[in-house]
Amino acid sequence: MQTSRDDAIRLPPSSPGGLARRAERWCRALLAEAGIGIDGREPWDMRVNDPALFGRILRHGSLGLGEAYMDGWWDCPQLDEFFVRALRAGLERRVRGPLATLGAGLLGALVNRQSARRAWIVGRRHYDLGNALFSRVLDPTMSYSCGYWRSATDLAQAQRDKLALIAAKLQLAPGMRLLDIGCGWGGLAEHLAREHGAEVLGVTVSTEQAEHARRRCAGLPVEIRLADYRTVAGRFERIVSVGMFEHVGHRNYRTYFELAHRCLAEGGLFLLHTIGAKETVRGLDPWIEKYIFPNGALPSATQIARAVEGLFVIEDWHNFGADYDRTLMAWHANFERAWAELAGHYDERFHRMFRYYLLACAGAFRARDLQLWQVTLSKGGVAGGYRAPR
């Protein structure tokens, strides 16, 4: 997200002490625009533990804000609501930092950050953090994507309902071959094979995910490959991709959909489940990029529509992004409950990092700054029209 000239952060010439005071005044005034206080009484107010915090935010923007939280320089009793208010007030445009924004824009324009060689980085740095961690944070299906809360009252039901919704949208019949691009820990592949008789090929760039998925799907007509999506060949009646498109990158969107088009049989259906940005941007927030999803990129509706043009018919576009708020808050509750068990494997800085990630993202979806889309595509169009289940 670009920083405008009027919003750009400028370091005023001053003595070190004067600069610190100016930084504090600037932060106080900025947060006040969002109804956020400093050392105030509201649960979304910032509690400052180190007065050097303000200069760090001024110098490094949202990256400095996140790193300072990881280092214990500030706290907030209700971090998710802190981000709801900050995002609704548009503060992210003013604390991201002009140098970080410029650097991300240039890198995205000049380098394919999601090339076949670089595609494995996110697997090693995030998805391979350990199955012990994710098994305690996620539901029994190990679904690391938005649940469907239309009638669910808990995380496990929301994820089961999401799997059932995907199956219904794909109109599966026994014996159909299905490609699962970014199969995660195999929960969807298992469900579609066990409950609907599909023959599934799942691909992932995470070693930990692949090993778990193979164990999970043992005895079912499911093959799990540790592979980049660009290496897939073959013909499938159905394709599904859940929570993986966020790692494809704008330089590769057309390549991704061309591969899906080659692999999808005539008359086939392809369901894409992805987080979406409300406007076209070049990269993620600098903190998320550095600590959670390296080389990530959220697509806009425009980017998806352009990338599928001439390849697929868009049969249905379903937005249930508000459900991701509830999903993330459920993951956060599980994470905090399990921390006593996890503390022997991860340090307190990781604890604060993972909490910040989950609650910041929950706030972003609650503010409707981020979306969650399920886009159903057909090859050649569904005769008589597609009836989208909800």
Q: Is 361 a catalytic residue?
A: yes
Distances in whole angstroms, Cα of residue 349 to Cα of each of 73, 257, 330, 352: 11, 39, 21, 5
27, 183, 263, 361: the catalytic one is 361
Residues annotated as catalytic (active site), given as ranges: 361
